[in-house]
Chains A and B, each alone.
Chain A
Amino acid sequence: MNNKLYEYLLMLGDNSMILGHRLSELCGHGPNLETDIALTNISLDLFGQVRSYFQYAAEVKGGEFTEDTIAFLRKDREYRHVLLVEQPNEDFGHVIGRQFLYDSYHLPLLKQLTESKDETIAAIAHKSVKEARYHLRFSSEWVKRLGDGTDESHQRMQKAIEHLYPFIFELFQETDIEKEMKELKIGADLSRIKEESMTTIGEVLADATLKIPESAPRMAKGKTGIHSEHLGFILSDLQYMQRAYPDMQW
């Protein structure tokens, strides 16, 4: 049981961490100062959530595990995030598209987790759900502004959505661990999340004059540890300090 809870916490934490890392790559590179600050603030929120999940995961796992060893010292196959969040920044359309699609899943996920039978998960969700509301607000406004903007912004936003949309289906694909957590009323019911998420996506894309892509869903296996080559590059950056200077503190 503890091991499964641990794995479930990794799924929750890793999505926030890898997305937070992608956003942190934009620090100082945002299209303008305000957006730069907004994206790094969202990144910070996500990292705050990661810390809460990993502190708890370390407690559940016991022994030598700490939030830092969990974050920095796992091998690529041990990360449990979905492929959507590891997609590269490309252009601002991709950054916003990835954020929006994830937020539209993240908010209903956290809403459900506020009712988790696991008190710590419920407390983290209560805290994070307020932040996720701001994130979704921010990303959906930008999807609309870009989609319903100039010809170029429309095209680029549409292109980003075409690329990213097929990845969302992995979010709703239930793994054995998620199924068990759902049955124990610790975890969320992905089918209910899917409903709310797809409604949000449909409404926002319509407002943004964007088309919902017809491309086939990508059935990825990020949650079981199978990732794309992007992860290797992310980890070489993310883990560099801990690998080069083990147990460093500052």
Chain B
Amino acid sequence: MVESSPHIENKQVEQALWQVSDPEIPVLSVMDMGVIRKVNIEGNKVYIDITPTYSGCPAMDTIADDITKAVQKEGFEVKVKLVLSPAWTTDWITARGRQQLEEYGIASPLSAELDKQALLEGGRIVKCTNCGSTNTRMVSQFGSTACKALFQCEDCLEPFDYFKCLK
């Protein structure tokens, strides 16, 4: 099991990283998102490995820039490296991250098995982020970004995004 966010020995650096979020999901810190894989601190230099959620995620360059700026502000020299392996999975989103997603209006990923039922077999199991009903249906397998599918609630009629399970 890979840890969802790495241990960081320096509090300043850790706090700076908590301030950085995915520009497309501003409520969620990159730490809760699980995209920070490794942080090595050697004196004044900080080496940070990040991993993309999806290969084509257009936010990665911005995230890397934001991380660099945030940690530089604490007086460090920063080197951010993009690593592809092991590949990111939705399992790395923390419990708190999931809750924040839901509050923001994005249904958080189900288990791989349930995800398949919801996306492939028309299973009505994804909970509406507006009213909590599971009487919901998939409108499109791809939502506003590649990592999400578009759902609609049949009870309150609210459309919402569902963060697809990626394993």
Contacts and interface: CB of A to CB of B under 8 A. Distances in A.
Given A47-B56, A48-B52, A137-B120, A41 B142 contact: yes
Contacts of B141: 38, 134, 137-138, 141
A126 B85 contact: yes
B140 A46 contact: no
Contacts of A141: 141
A130 interface: yes
A127 B146 contact: no
B83 to A, nearest CB: 8
Contact of B57 (A48, A120, A123): A48
Given A45-B54, A126-B87, A131 B146 contact: yes
Contacts of B150: 34, 37
A48 B56 contact: yes
A34 B164 CA distance: 16
B85 A138 contact: no
* Band of interface residues on A: 20 to 34
Given A34-B142, A37-B140, A41-B146, A51 B85 contact: no
Contact of A131 (B54, B58, B83): B54
A34 B140 contact: yes
Contact of B84 (A42, A126, A134, A137): A126
Contact of A123 (B85, B139, B166, B167): B85
Interface string A18-56: 000000000000000011011001111111110110000
A46 B54 CA distance: 10
Interface in A110-134: 119-120, 122-124, 126-128, 130-131, 134
Contacts of A128: 55
A7 B139 CA distance: 41
Contacts of B56: 41, 43-49, 131
Interface string B44-88: 000000001011111000000000000000000000000111111
Contacts of A122: 85
A41 B86 CA distance: 22
B145 A41 contact: yes
A123 B51 CA distance: 11
A45 B146 contact: yes
A35 B58 contact: no
A130 B140 contact: no
B144 A45 contact: no
B152 to A, nearest CB: 11
Contacts of B86: 126
B123 interface: no
B167 A52 contact: no
B142 A37 contact: yes
B87 A127 contact: yes
Contacts of A52: 55, 84
A124 B56 CA distance: 12
A39 to B, nearest CB: 8
Contacts of B23: none
Contact of B55 (A34, A120, A127, A137): A127
Contacts of A44: 54, 56, 58, 146
B135 to A, nearest CB: 20
Residue picked from B54, B87, B88, B142, most chain A C-beta under 10 Å = B142
Given A126-B84, A134-B141, A141-B141, 11 more contacts: A37-B143, A44-B58, A45-B54, A45-B146, A48-B52, A49-B56, A51-B55, A123-B83, A126-B85, A131-B55, A137-B141
Interface of A: 34-35, 37-38, 41-49, 51-52, 119-120, 122-124, 126-128, 130-131, 134, 137-138, 141
